[in-house]
Amino acid sequence: MKKVFGIVKDGVVTNANTGEVITHLFRDIMIQKAEENGQALAFDTETDRARRIEVSEIEQDTTIEVPKQEVNVKADPVLALIQNAASIRPATLEMTDLKWKYLVRSALRGKNIMMVGPAGCGKTEAAKALPAATDRPFFYFNLGATQDPRATLIGNTHFKGGETAFDQSAFVKAIQTENAVILLDELSRAHPEAWNILMTVLDEGQRYLRLDEDINAPTIYVASGVSFIATANIGTEYTSTRVLDRALMDRFEIIEVDILSKERESALLAKRFPKLEAGLVEAVADIADLTRKEWRSEEGKLTTMVSTRMTVRVCDLLADGFNLEEAADVAILPFFDQSGGADSERTFVKQIIQKHMATADSDIFNTGNVDDMSVANFVMANPF
């Protein structure tokens, strides 16, 4: 079937024929409009285009059903949780239903997951949301920040009153906790020795940690149901294998964290900063979106983009009374290279921001429309 028909209720879109949740196929604003007008939605899987339709236009699925795996959710409470994953996602986390469901399922099934994506796109945020949502014990290790992987992952040996004593690390305790979710944050930046130590721990067939290289050293087994979630500040799998050891990568299922669309970025910011003017929030989302498009395009001028971490910071400053120019100046521009002067990445981003200042300005003063003259004056009077 080429078209997928969606029924909207309380902001959630379900497939009219299969009952599957398909909210991720539609933009928030479209879902909202459809719901307001009592309409349904259609998604064309060949063109990837979505539109609002009247409920009467929904077509019954006449294609032959692909046999579906019978899922007996009553017999397995974990299955029920996986099916309802969307309902346990915190409102402040923006992640597609599918990726969140995959994450939830991995935690509940004791799988290893590696979340990859550029800096500031919500990897740590999503990983931290997981134990709370699934009610699992949680342990956090920032591997990018430790200088001494042995001490962090195994423990410290020290001498006390002429005797050698061994202090086990918090990690040793963590892996012995049944059903724990263990976050290995910034694994991509960890010391290679950390990767070596983790090899056996993460391997499906081994799942143990030896407390020393010594043959007689005690071996600690990973408790049942433990799920390791790693994060890596990298792009696609292709680039990540060059940064991380292939054997280590192979021990994980990979989730590529989404870079948010303009609509989802602005929805996230509006949710977090309900007191900010809608126009201002949209301007921030649009600035981020333009840098993302430029960064993604092959001939683009930018080697990095405005991340969600940055847009959140900008809105924080706006909420504290900074204007858009000031907020962008301190929270965005330092991340863009200024070499090359007028041709630099920083100048490029500055220009994007400047274009938005007129809009943001008119919103602040609620004038509705600003004539060309006053925009020109404003920009000239406020050079960066």
- Residue whose Cβ sits closest to ligand ADP: 122
Please tell me whether residue 106 binds ligand ADP under the rule CB under 6 A.
Answer: no
Q: Which of residues 267-286 bind ligand ADP (CB under 6 A)?
A: 268
Q: How far is the CB of 235 from Mg ion (least distance, A)?
A: 15
Neighbours of 43 (CB within 10 A): 19
Q: How far is the CB of 124 from ligand ADP (least distance, A)?
A: 3
- Which partner, ligand ADP, Mg ion, none, binds residue 157 by CB below 5 to 8 Å per kind? none
Q: Which two tokens stand for residue 113?
A: 């997951």
Q: How far is the CB of 96 from ligand ADP (least distance, A)?
A: 10
Buried b (16+ CB within 10 A) or exposed e, 86-114: beebeeeebbebbbbbbbbbbbbebbbbb
Q: Which two tokens stand for residue 303?
A: 């080697």
Q: How far is the CB of 183 from ligand ADP (least distance, A)?
A: 10
Binding letters toward ligand ADP, positions 146-185, x by CB under 6 A: ----------------------------------------
In whole angstroms, give the CA distance from residue 224 to residue 109: 10
Which residues have a Cβ under 8 Å from the Cβ of 294 and sit 6 or more positions away? Answer: 300, 301, 302, 305, 348
Which residues have a Cβ under 8 Å from the Cβ of 346 and sit 6 or more positions away? Answer: 333, 336, 337, 338
Contacting range for ligand ADP; rule: CB under 6 A; set: 23-31, 116-124, 196-204, 242-250: 116-124
- Helices 97-108 and 123-134: crossing angle in degrees, nearest 10, is 60
Q: Report the residue number, 43 or 252, with the smaller CB distance to Mg ion.
A: 252
Binding letters toward ligand ADP, positions 299-338, x by CB under 6 A: ---------xx--x--------------------------
User: E strands of 192-274, at which residues?
Assistant: 208-210, 219-221, 227-232, 253-256
Q: Which of residues 85-124 bind Mg ion (CB under 5 A)?
A: 124
Which residues, listed in sequence order, are joined to residue 296 by a DSSP beta bridge? none
Q: Which two tokens stand for residue 105?
A: 């399922």
Contacts to Mg ion by CB under 5 A:
124
Contacts to ligand ADP by CB under 6 A:
92-95, 117, 119-125, 231, 268, 308-309, 312
